Protein backbone atom coordinates (compact mmCIF):
# COMPACT_ATOMS: atom_id res chain seq x y z
CA UNK A 1 0.00 0.00 0.00
CA UNK A 2 2.94 2.35 0.59
CA UNK A 3 4.55 1.77 -2.81
CA UNK A 4 2.81 4.68 -4.65
CA UNK A 5 3.86 7.10 -1.92
CA UNK A 6 7.45 5.80 -2.04
CA UNK A 7 7.45 6.08 -5.85
CA UNK A 8 6.20 9.65 -5.67
CA UNK A 9 8.89 10.51 -3.13
CA UNK A 10 11.57 8.98 -5.34
CA UNK A 11 10.31 11.03 -8.30
CA UNK A 12 10.32 14.18 -6.18
CA UNK A 13 13.90 13.53 -5.05
CA UNK A 14 14.96 12.81 -8.65
CA UNK A 15 13.33 16.06 -9.86
CA UNK A 16 15.05 18.05 -7.08
CA UNK A 17 18.41 16.49 -7.98
CA UNK A 18 17.91 17.37 -11.65
CA UNK A 19 17.11 20.96 -10.74
CA UNK A 20 20.16 21.09 -8.47
CA UNK A 21 22.39 19.61 -11.18
CA UNK A 22 21.02 22.07 -13.76
CA UNK A 23 21.71 25.01 -11.46
CA UNK A 24 25.20 23.71 -10.68
CA UNK A 25 25.93 23.32 -14.38
CA UNK A 26 24.70 26.85 -15.08
CA UNK A 27 26.86 28.27 -12.31
CA UNK A 28 29.88 26.36 -13.63
CA UNK A 29 29.27 27.74 -17.13
CA UNK A 30 28.86 31.28 -15.83
CA UNK A 31 32.02 30.89 -13.75
CA UNK A 32 33.98 29.59 -16.75
CA UNK A 33 32.76 32.46 -18.93
CA UNK A 34 33.68 35.05 -16.29
CA UNK A 35 37.16 33.55 -15.90
CA UNK A 36 37.61 33.57 -19.70
CA UNK A 37 36.50 37.21 -19.90
CA UNK A 38 38.83 38.25 -17.05
CA UNK A 39 41.74 36.40 -18.67
CA UNK A 40 41.00 37.99 -22.04
CA UNK A 41 40.86 41.48 -20.51
CA UNK A 42 44.05 40.85 -18.55
CA UNK A 43 45.89 39.61 -21.64
CA UNK A 44 44.63 42.58 -23.63
CA UNK A 45 45.63 45.07 -20.95
CA UNK A 46 48.99 43.65 -19.91
CA UNK A 47 50.21 41.14 -22.51
CA UNK A 48 48.93 41.55 -26.08
CA UNK A 49 46.78 44.24 -27.66
CA UNK A 50 45.35 44.32 -31.16
CA UNK A 51 45.79 47.60 -33.04
CA UNK A 52 44.70 48.92 -36.41
CA UNK A 53 47.08 51.17 -38.33
CA UNK A 54 45.53 54.51 -39.26
CA UNK A 55 47.24 56.76 -41.75
CA UNK A 56 50.28 56.59 -44.01
CA UNK A 57 53.13 57.60 -41.69
CA UNK A 58 54.67 54.09 -41.60
CA UNK A 59 54.60 53.36 -45.33
CA UNK A 60 56.02 51.34 -46.97
CA UNK A 61 56.44 49.07 -43.92
CA UNK A 62 52.83 49.36 -42.79
CA UNK A 63 49.76 50.37 -44.74
CA UNK A 64 46.57 52.07 -43.60
CA UNK A 65 44.19 49.51 -42.00
CA UNK A 66 46.92 46.90 -41.33
CA UNK A 67 46.24 45.03 -38.09
CA UNK A 68 48.93 44.13 -35.59
CA UNK A 69 49.56 42.26 -32.36
CA UNK A 70 51.32 44.52 -29.87
CA UNK A 71 53.41 43.09 -27.03
CA UNK A 72 52.93 44.88 -23.70
CA UNK A 73 54.36 42.26 -21.33
CA UNK A 74 57.48 43.67 -19.63
CA UNK A 75 58.33 45.32 -22.92
CA UNK A 76 61.42 47.50 -23.32
CA UNK A 77 61.83 49.23 -26.70
CA UNK A 78 64.99 48.64 -28.70
CA UNK A 79 66.39 50.44 -31.73
CA UNK A 80 64.56 49.35 -34.85
CA UNK A 81 61.37 48.36 -33.02
CA UNK A 82 58.01 49.59 -34.25
CA UNK A 83 56.19 50.92 -31.18
CA UNK A 84 52.77 52.28 -30.26
CA UNK A 85 52.67 55.23 -27.87
CA UNK A 86 50.25 57.91 -26.68
CA UNK A 87 51.90 61.32 -26.14
CA UNK A 88 50.63 63.54 -23.33
CA UNK A 89 50.26 66.33 -25.85
CA UNK A 90 47.74 64.25 -27.82
CA UNK A 91 46.25 61.73 -25.34
CA UNK A 92 43.36 60.65 -27.54
CA UNK A 93 45.55 59.63 -30.46
CA UNK A 94 47.87 56.56 -30.39
CA UNK A 95 50.93 56.89 -32.64
CA UNK A 96 52.87 54.11 -34.35
CA UNK A 97 56.53 54.85 -35.20
CA UNK A 98 59.98 53.27 -35.34
CA UNK A 99 62.55 53.66 -32.55
CA UNK A 100 65.63 55.38 -33.97
CA UNK A 101 67.58 55.99 -30.78
CA UNK A 102 67.43 55.08 -27.10
CA UNK A 103 68.80 56.40 -23.82
CA UNK A 104 72.28 57.87 -24.16
CA UNK A 105 72.32 57.84 -27.97
CA UNK A 106 73.14 60.96 -29.98
CA UNK A 107 70.94 61.86 -32.95
CA UNK A 108 71.62 64.23 -35.81
CA UNK A 109 69.51 64.66 -38.95
CA UNK A 110 71.00 66.39 -41.97
CA UNK A 111 67.97 67.79 -43.73
CA UNK A 112 70.01 68.84 -46.77
CA UNK A 113 71.04 65.28 -47.57
CA UNK A 114 68.18 63.53 -45.77
CA UNK A 115 70.62 61.40 -43.78
CA UNK A 116 70.10 60.31 -40.16
CA UNK A 117 73.08 59.76 -37.87
CA UNK A 118 73.04 57.93 -34.53
CA UNK A 119 76.23 58.14 -32.46
CA UNK A 120 77.97 59.59 -35.51
CA UNK A 121 77.11 56.61 -37.69
CA UNK A 122 74.99 57.04 -40.81
CA UNK A 123 71.96 54.75 -40.56
CA UNK A 124 71.28 52.35 -43.39
CA UNK A 125 67.49 52.62 -43.61
CA UNK A 126 66.09 50.27 -46.28
CA UNK A 127 62.64 50.50 -44.69
CA UNK A 128 61.98 54.22 -45.32
CA UNK A 129 59.87 55.56 -48.17
CA UNK A 130 62.24 58.43 -48.94
CA UNK A 131 65.01 60.51 -47.40
CA UNK A 132 64.26 62.72 -44.38
CA UNK A 133 63.66 66.23 -45.72
CA UNK A 134 61.04 67.72 -43.38
CA UNK A 135 61.84 69.12 -39.96
CA UNK A 136 59.53 69.79 -36.99
CA UNK A 137 58.92 72.03 -34.01
CA UNK A 138 61.23 70.13 -31.66
CA UNK A 139 64.12 70.25 -34.15
CA UNK A 140 63.46 73.92 -34.90
CA UNK A 141 63.62 74.69 -31.17
CA UNK A 142 66.89 72.78 -30.92
CA UNK A 143 68.29 74.91 -33.71
CA UNK A 144 67.14 78.13 -32.01
CA UNK A 145 68.11 77.38 -28.41
CA UNK A 146 71.22 75.23 -28.83
CA UNK A 147 74.00 74.38 -31.22
CA UNK A 148 72.62 71.68 -33.45
CA UNK A 149 74.88 70.06 -36.00
CA UNK A 150 76.76 66.81 -36.51
CA UNK A 151 79.19 67.81 -33.75
CA UNK A 152 76.37 68.87 -31.43
CA UNK A 153 73.62 66.24 -31.82
CA UNK A 154 70.54 65.65 -29.70
CA UNK A 155 71.35 63.47 -26.68
CA UNK A 156 68.56 61.07 -25.69
CA UNK A 157 67.63 61.40 -22.02
CA UNK A 158 67.24 58.55 -19.54
CA UNK A 159 64.16 56.40 -20.22
CA UNK A 160 63.38 58.33 -23.40
CA UNK A 161 63.29 57.42 -27.10
CA UNK A 162 63.62 59.16 -30.43
CA UNK A 163 61.06 57.80 -32.89
CA UNK A 164 60.31 58.46 -36.56
CA UNK A 165 57.81 57.25 -39.12
CA UNK A 166 59.13 55.27 -42.08
CA UNK A 167 57.26 57.66 -44.37
CA UNK A 168 59.61 60.40 -43.23
CA UNK A 169 58.03 63.32 -45.05
CA UNK A 170 54.49 62.48 -43.96
CA UNK A 171 54.94 61.70 -40.28
CA UNK A 172 54.46 63.55 -37.01
CA UNK A 173 57.12 62.07 -34.75
CA UNK A 174 60.04 63.06 -32.51
CA UNK A 175 60.96 65.84 -34.94
CA UNK A 176 57.72 67.48 -33.76
CA UNK A 177 56.93 65.80 -30.42
CA UNK A 178 60.43 65.56 -29.03
CA UNK A 179 61.83 62.63 -27.08
CA UNK A 180 59.20 60.08 -26.04
CA UNK A 181 59.25 59.00 -22.36
CA UNK A 182 59.04 55.28 -21.63
CA UNK A 183 55.75 55.63 -19.73
CA UNK A 184 53.98 56.85 -22.88
CA UNK A 185 54.85 53.70 -24.83
CA UNK A 186 52.12 51.05 -24.85
CA UNK A 187 54.14 48.28 -26.48
CA UNK A 188 55.95 46.99 -29.52
CA UNK A 189 54.40 45.62 -32.71
CA UNK A 190 55.44 41.97 -33.02
CA UNK A 191 53.15 40.43 -35.63
CA UNK A 192 50.97 41.59 -38.54
CA UNK A 193 47.90 39.39 -38.98
CA UNK A 194 46.02 41.44 -41.59
CA UNK A 195 45.96 41.63 -44.55
CA UNK A 196 46.45 37.91 -45.11
CA UNK A 197 49.03 38.37 -47.87
CA UNK A 198 51.24 40.38 -45.47
CA UNK A 199 51.09 38.11 -42.41
CA UNK A 200 54.41 37.91 -40.60
CA UNK A 201 56.69 38.99 -37.80
CA UNK A 202 57.61 42.64 -37.48
CA UNK A 203 61.24 43.71 -37.53
CA UNK A 204 62.53 41.79 -40.53
CA UNK A 205 62.70 45.01 -42.52
CA UNK A 206 64.89 46.83 -39.97
CA UNK A 207 68.57 47.64 -40.17
CA UNK A 208 70.70 44.56 -39.31
CA UNK A 209 72.69 46.92 -37.08
CA UNK A 210 69.65 46.96 -34.80
CA UNK A 211 69.86 43.23 -34.30
CA UNK A 212 66.59 42.45 -36.10
Exactly one of 18, 32, 97, 172 is catalytic; name it. 97
| CA separation for the pair 192, 65 (Å, rounded) | 11
Alpha helices in 47-157 (DSSP H): 137-145
| CA separation for the pair 138, 161 (Å, rounded) | 14
- 171 an active-site residue? no
Exactly one of 11, 18, 19, 57 is catalytic; name it. 57
| CA separation for the pair 200, 106 (Å, rounded) | 32
| CA separation for the pair 71, 105 (Å, rounded) | 24
- 97 an active-site residue? yes
> What sign does the dihedral 186-188-191-193 (CA atoms) show?
positive
| CA separation for the pair 49, 45 (Å, rounded) | 7
User: What amino acid positions are annotated as catalytic residues?
Assistant: 57, 97
Amino acid sequence: MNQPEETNMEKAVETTEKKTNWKRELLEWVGSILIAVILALTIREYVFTLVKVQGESMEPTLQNADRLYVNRFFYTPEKGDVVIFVPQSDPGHPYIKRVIATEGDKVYIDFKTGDVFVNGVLLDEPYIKEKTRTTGLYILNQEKTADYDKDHPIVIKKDHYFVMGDNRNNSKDSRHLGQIPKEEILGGAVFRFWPLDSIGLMGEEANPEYGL
